[in-house]
A = this chain, B = another copy of it.
Amino acid sequence: MRFYSDNTATIAPEILSAIAEANRGVAIAYGDDPWTQRLDPLFGELFGTAVRAFAVLTGTAANSLILAALSPPYGAIFVHEEGHIAVDECGAPSFFTGGAQLMLLPGEHGKVTPAILRAALDAHPPSVHSVQPAVLSLTQASELGTVYRPEEVAALCELAHARGLTVHMDGARFANAVAFLGCAPADITWRAGVDALSFGATKNGALAAEAAIFFNPQLVRDFELRRKRAGHLLSKSRFIAAQLLSYVESGLWLRNARRANSMAQRIGTAAGAALLHPVEANEVFLNLGDARKAALRAQGFEFYDWGAADSGHARVVAAWDHQEADVTALCKALGAAC
């Protein structure tokens, strides 16, 4: 019973069908096909505003290509110290931007606050000697399974814009955040001030498909050239576009996220006092200690250790395709142990 990650999940049947259906006849390569051409209107409708949307294959590519459009090589990108771009992308933001410096921010439960951001901005007023504050990057849902409320996003964006920064949202689990909040996608993005979004689908049912979405068309700049020279312009682009079209149009994105979130809620409740952070998406962080971790593993539950080697922490992730029975078994075991 593997609770390692939502990356270990399968492709949703709807997505696989969409790929098969797109597999008819010749289509112009590199995005000049009807599927890819529909991405702008698709996401425009989803977000209720005109957008530019670009298909890429990994979340790291979506994040870093957006950051390269938003930050100069001597830019500073402010991000929570647990952010995926800070911890899990092997320096991709610096590679794609040509050198931008990550400014790591603390913050409870994986979330940044305006006070924290303000302090970081104030600490070193920019001059010719310093990297230039360029981007605030928020993760929604956060890396610790929590979710920014619309007004939290808005307050952060307001401060960022006032200081001349643009705002990127890493939405690898964007669907989980929307499912939790029950809000419109616009409420936590452009309406709150977000300039560009990495809209994830891979963790939530796709084979490999993410969209880089710009709410401000002026910020797109040379995105397409940067995507090309990073090897992320797919020749048979229709097959990523078809995944995204199906994912959104079929309602799969919210359906899968709701299911995963609800399983995570059950696991979090079962964990009781062992819970480290509120469960607001599909990830559960637990302070189990080594003995309880070993006991759970002996019962066949697989999950990752988390944080420092001696912390005793663990991460359990509920994916859209987990079996109810497995989740029930895990809840039972956790209930007994905690």
As for how many copies of this chain the complex holds, the number is 4
User: CB of A60 within 8 A of chain B?
Assistant: yes
User: CB of A23 within 8 A of chain B?
Assistant: yes
Chain B residue nearest to A206 in the complex (CB): B236
Known: A231-B60, A231-B64. A236 touches B208 (CB 8 A): yes
- Neighbouring B residues of A130 by C-beta, 8 Å: 87-88, 90
Task: Report the bound CA distance from A5 to B26 in whole Å.
Answer: 10
Whole-angstrom distance between the Cβ of A239 and the nearest chain B Cβ: 5
Interface 9-mer from A6-14, A39-47, A151-159, A254-262: A6-14
Determine if A90 and B239 form an interchain contact, defined as CB atoms under 8 angstroms apart.
Answer: no
User: CB of A20 within 8 A of chain B?
Assistant: yes
* CB-contacts of A1-52 with B (<8 A): 2, 4-5, 7-11, 16, 19-20, 23-30
User: CB of A207 within 8 A of chain B?
Assistant: yes
Whole-angstrom distance between the Cβ of A213 and the nearest chain B Cβ: 17
Task: Report the bound CA distance from A208 to B30 in whole Å.
Answer: 12
Chain B residue nearest to A102 in the complex (CB): B101
- Neighbouring B residues of A119 by C-beta, 8 Å: 308
User: CB of A287 within 8 A of chain B?
Assistant: no
Band of interface residues on A:
35 or more
Task: Report the bound CA distance from A10 to B26 in whole Å.
Answer: 7
Task: Report the bound CA distance from A233 to B231 in whole Å.
Answer: 12
User: CB of A228 within 8 A of chain B?
Assistant: yes
* CB-contacts of A94-117 with B (<8 A): 94-96, 98-102, 104
Determine if A222 and B28 form an interchain contact, defined as CB atoms under 8 angstroms apart.
Answer: no
- Neighbouring B residues of A64 by C-beta, 8 Å: 231
Q: Binary interface profile of A, 311-331, with partner B (CB < 8 Å = 1, else 0)?
A: 000000001000000000000
Interface 9-mer from A121-129, A271-279, A288-296: A121-129
User: CB of A219 within 8 A of chain B?
Assistant: no
Determine if B27 and A129 form an interchain contact, defined as CB atoms under 8 angstroms apart.
Answer: no
Picked from B23, B28, B90, B98, the residue with its CB within 8 Å of the CB of A4 is: B28
Determine if A91 and B87 form an interchain contact, defined as CB atoms under 8 angstroms apart.
Answer: no
Whole-angstrom distance between the Cβ of A249 and the nearest chain B Cβ: 20
Determine if B89 and A228 form an interchain contact, defined as CB atoms under 8 angstroms apart.
Answer: yes
Task: Report the bound CA distance from A30 to B58 in whole Å.
Answer: 11
Determine if A16 and B20 form an interchain contact, defined as CB atoms under 8 angstroms apart.
Answer: yes
User: CB of A191 within 8 A of chain B?
Assistant: no
Picked from B30, B75, B98, the residue with its CB within 8 Å of the CB of A128 is: B30
Determine if A91 and B104 form an interchain contact, defined as CB atoms under 8 angstroms apart.
Answer: no
- Neighbouring B residues of A308 by C-beta, 8 Å: 119, 122-123
Task: Report the bound CA distance from A98 to B72 in whole Å.
Answer: 11
List 11 A-B residue pairs with CB atoms under 8 Å apart, sorted by A's residue number.
A8-B26, A9-B26, A11-B236, A16-B19, A74-B95, A87-B129, A90-B130, A91-B229, A92-B228, A99-B229, A123-B308
